[in-house]
């Protein structure tokens, strides 16, 4: 069979043992942090009815769903492209009474999502570990997610994660107050690129009050450390109560982070002109970045009914590799190699006796040289040769093997 016949779809990939072990370790590290903070695990299905799932998605995200017709029913179903809509469905269906009683629900998950990407890239599979906090819409809940995100990334091996905060309600309110017929898509692009001159030209062509024109320009300019919140002029805050309210909430979130984790708070980046996700999020927008990776390691924020974030494991792994993280350590163990089929039972008996204290497995029909190649992550090899002699070999530096004790 040709290699083309065995190719994977675009956007999919296999993980061989070292990479799979690293993925498992990172997932366990992240989930352990979430567990310590009281986030209980949930598992959601890989497929959903599109009519139900799509209720919680913006139209742009609905178009990225992989859809097909369910055999036997004719219903339109979709592979999950995001976990948050599933959490929203789960909370409405199974947790509504507890939320109505005032309980805050903390949930954690580890899952794969599939989204349609650019036409040239096909569908893309992403592995995520995430947290969702439902039933608490306070600034303290927003701060909890920021602090939790930072601790989770540190546990995964990034000691100084770069977290970026925004409040998409600011940009949304600006867009809602623009004159009818205004090209908001063009403004969206200008703000995304931080094109201050372009925003100024855009605002100059609109019939706006002077303070409104200044506020529009500030959206592009106010990007930096937490101190930029103090750079919003008092007359602008007084002229737009909704802006003052959003800024006060963001200030409260940062103050709580500063109290609990001063070093993290000093490194926070604030972007008052963030517009990406404004059709999905309702307030806080949280992202995390790392050198050498073009996409966010974490995306999340506050939405209708809750708040949460998802760690993108592929991006996290790329960040760790760029930072020079050491390779995944071998899992060790012992491989018992029997040159002859007649020695299989003896090899299996040795493996069984060793599994009480560690890893052990059997290879049959291999020469000593072939066994060294097939030893995988083993640190020890017990070789049963054709004459019945048993020799223990130990792995050394640069995958060299040294003979130890022998048995006749």
CB 258 within 8 A of CB 270: no
Strands 269-271 and 40-41, sheet pairing: unpaired
- For 363-372, the pLDDT digits (tens) are 999 998 999 9
Average pLDDT over residues 110-124: 78
The half-sphere exposure of 21 on its side-chain side, counting CA atoms within 13 A, is 9
In 3D, which of 178, 137, 115, 165 has the Cα closest to residue 312? 115
Find where tokens 């998950």 sit. 109
Task: Give the mean pLDDT of 186-202.
Answer: 84
Distance from the Cα of residue 304 to its chain's centroid? 21
Q: Which comes out higher in pLDDT, residue 172 or 285?
A: 285
List, for residues 363-407, the tens digit of each pLDDT value.
Answer: 999 998 999 998 988 999 999 999 989 999 999 988 899 998 777
Distance CA 145, CA 307 (A): 8
Q: Tell me phi and psi for residue 349, to 5 degrees.
A: -65, -40
Report the share of the chain in percent with pLDDT over 70: 96
pLDDT at 289 over 80: yes
Rg of the chain in Å (alpha carbons): 27
pTM for this entry: 0.89
**282 or 406, higher pLDDT:** 282
pLDDT surpassing 60 at residue 163: yes
Q: What is the mean pLDDT of residues 78-93?
A: 91
What's the mean pLDDT when you consider all of the chain?
90
Mutual angle of helices 168-176 and 241-260, in 10-degree steps: 170
Mind listing the pLDDT tens digit for each residue in 308-351? 999 999 999 999 999 998 888 888 999 999 999 999 999 999 99
For residue 19, which of 348, 387, 325 has the smallest C-alpha distance?
A: 325
311 close to 186: Cβ distance less than 8 angstroms: no
Confidence of residue 132 (pLDDT cuts 50, 70, 90): very high
C-alpha 153/C-alpha 165 separation (Å) is 16
Q: What is the pLDDT of residue 364?
A: 96
* Closest C-alpha among 202, 162, 175 to residue 290: 162
Rounded Cα gap, residues 128 and 313, in angstroms: 6
Query: CA–CA separation, 406 vs 394, rounded Å?
Result: 12
Q: What is the pLDDT of residue 210?
A: 82
What's residue 388's pLDDT? 87
DSSP 43-58: ---SEEEHHHHGGGS-
Rounded CA-CA distance 366/259 in Å is 62
What's residue 384's pLDDT?
Answer: 95
Is the pLDDT assigned to residue 278 strictly greater than 60? Answer: no
Whole-number Å distance between alpha carbons of 335 and 375? 6
């Amino acid at each position: 069979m040709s290699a083309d016949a065995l190719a994977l779809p675009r956007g999919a990939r296999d993980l061989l043992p070292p990479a799979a072990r690293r993925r498992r370790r990172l997932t366990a590290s992240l989930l352990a942090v979430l567990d310590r903070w009281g986030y209980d695990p949930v598992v959601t299905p890989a497929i959903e009815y599109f009519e139900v799932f799509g209720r919680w998605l913006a139209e742009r995200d609905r178009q990225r769903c992989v859809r097909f017709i369910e055999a036997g029913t004719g219903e339109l179903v979709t592979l999950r492209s995001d976990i948050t809509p599933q959490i929203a469905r789960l909370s409405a269906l199974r947790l509504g009474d507890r939320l109505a009683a005032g309980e805050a629900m903390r949930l954690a998950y580890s899952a794969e999502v599939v989204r349609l990407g650019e036409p040239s890239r096909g569908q893309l599979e992403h592995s995520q570990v995430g947290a969702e906090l439902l039933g608490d819409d306070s600034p303290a809940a927003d701060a909890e997610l920021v602090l939790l995100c930072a601790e989770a990334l540190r546990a995964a091996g990034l000691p100084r994660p770069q977290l970026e905060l925004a409040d998409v309600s600011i940009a949304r309110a600006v867009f809602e107050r623009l004159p009818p017929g205004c090209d908001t898509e063009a403004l969206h692009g200008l703000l995304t690129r931080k094109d201050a001159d372009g925003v100024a030209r855009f605002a100059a062509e609109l019939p706006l009050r002077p303070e409104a024109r200044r506020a529009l320009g500030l959206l592009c300019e106010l990007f930096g450390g937490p101190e930029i919140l103090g750079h919003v002029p008092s007359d602008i805050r007084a002229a737009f109560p909704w802006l003052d309210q959003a800024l006060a909430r963001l200030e409260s979130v940062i103050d709580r982070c500063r109290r609990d984790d001063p070093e993290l708070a000093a490194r926070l980046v604030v972007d008052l002109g963030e517009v990406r996700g404004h059709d999905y999020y309702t307030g806080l927008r949280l992202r995390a970045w790392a050198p050498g990776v073009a996409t966010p390691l974490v995306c999340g924020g506050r939405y209708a009914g809750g708040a949460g974030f998802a760690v993108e494991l592929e991006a996290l792994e790329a960040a760790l590799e760029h930072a020079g993280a050491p390779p995944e350590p071998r899992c060790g163990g012992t491989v018992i190699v029997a040159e002859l089929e007649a020695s299989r039972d003896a090899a299996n008996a040795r493996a069984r006796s060793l599994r009480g204290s560690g890893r052990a497995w059997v290879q049959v029909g291999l020469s000593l040289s072939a066994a060294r190649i097939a030893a995988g992550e083993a640190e020890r090899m017990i070789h049963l040769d054709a004459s019945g002699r048993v020799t223990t070999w130990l792995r050394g530096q640069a995958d060299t093997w040294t003979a130890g004790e022998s048995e006749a």
